[in-house]
Amino acid sequence: MKLEERHLVQLAAVVQAGGVTEGAALLGLTQPAVSRTLSMLEKRLGEPLFLKGRRPLQPTPLGRALADHGQAMLVASRKASTLVERFRQGRTGLVRVGGTPFFMDALISGMIAEFQNGSPDVRIDQSYGYLPDLREALNADRIDLAICPIDMLDEGSGMRFQEILPGRNIVACRSTHPLLLKRRLNAAELLDYPWIAPPPGSPLLADLRSLALSLGATEIKIRYAGGSLTSAINYMKASDALTILPHSVVFAFRAEKAITALPVNIPHPERALGLLYRTEDLRAPAVEAFSAHIRKSFENLKHLIKRHEQAVVWGL
């Protein structure tokens, strides 16, 4: 004999509430509709579901056993409804985000943790890459959004870019570097020290070459190249080597007081950090919620980053 699941759910609600009217209200149904369901179910079974004359309603052993099955369905249905609601609110789901290594490690990883503190059921899958790789990953639907610096977005690229932080490069060094003792720093003196080169493919590598040319040098002394952000910072802390970094990355490590920026203005292209999407994508609510969190986090940081720049780079 096959029983309708919805009939068992209604039976469970009545048993749980202790009355037909109360059980109907629990499910958002009318009392006559639930009464008809119970009557039809009893006729089909040929057995009573409730003991006669008992108030509140008391189920028979068969009624209790069937109600237990219905209760399991009711609980599963409520969990499914909650899941759908949380998905629509962006509080559950999957976010696949790719980004440039230095920014992801210095800034975005902490923001991911803050986001998941409020939305622990959202899974974040993070990957690394520079603009060409990230654009390819977006087009191939391997990631939902990218967080990266961009100079200019090509017309007809099928991409949309939302700026979250203006670009600003600095020369980074350890906080006890000899150049910091100079009252007036001549930019040409940067050539007297060894350098750490950013990883291949990084836009910072092109910026380093531009810096060398602006100082009248065709090349600079590269002593260490291609490492991660952590390795570059550890190398700087133990040497007089210099490197070129986004100011926001140095800002992110300000509390450690191990690295800082030299008070010298250097050329760098017009570039901004931002969120990159495919234009026609219908993004999942969790992706929208995560993107909003990243935008808000940077909005809150902007004035602190600017104040740090004025104090450290310009000494104001």
In this structure, is residue 250 part of a structural domain?
Answer: yes
195-197, strands of its sheet edge to edge: 222-225, 195-197, 242-246, 169-174, 259-261
Same domain, 224 and 106: no
Same domain, 42 and 100: no
pLDDT beneath 50: ranges in the chain:
316
Same domain, 173 and 52: no
Note the pLDDT of residue 233.
Answer: 95
Spatial CA neighbour of 110 closest among 315, 301, 305? 301
Note the pLDDT of residue 313.
Answer: 64
Same domain, 177 and 248: yes
In this structure, is residue 315 part of a structural domain?
Answer: no
Backbone torsions φ then ψ of 251, nearest 5 degrees: -55, -40
Same domain, 105 and 83: no
Backbone torsion region of residue 230, taken as left when φ is above 0, otherwise alpha when ψ lies between -120 and 50, otherwise beta: alpha
Note the pLDDT of residue 281.
Answer: 73
Spatial CA neighbour of 4 closest among 57, 31, 35, 44? 44
Note the pLDDT of residue 232.
Answer: 95
Q: What is the CATH number of the domain that holds 117?
A: 3.40.190.10
Spatial CA neighbour of 283 closest among 87, 126, 120? 87
92-99, strands of its sheet edge to edge: 121-128, 92-99, 145-150, 272-278, 159-166
Same domain, 151 and 299: yes
Q: What is the CATH number of the domain that holds 53?
A: 1.10.10.10
Same domain, 96 and 156: yes
In this structure, is residue 10 part of a structural domain?
Answer: yes
Report the amino acid identity of residue 81. Answer: S
| b/e sequence 16-25, b meaning 16+ C-beta within 10 Å | ebeebebbbe
Same domain, 69 and 136: no
Same domain, 296 and 157: yes
Same domain, 52 and 102: no
Note the pLDDT of residue 316.
Answer: 39
Same domain, 231 and 253: yes
First-to-last C-alpha distance (Å) of the chain: 84
State the total domains in the chain.
3
* Both structure tokens of 278: 């495919």
Same domain, 242 and 254: yes
Range of the domain at 124: 92-167+271-310
In this structure, is residue 266 part of a structural domain?
Answer: no
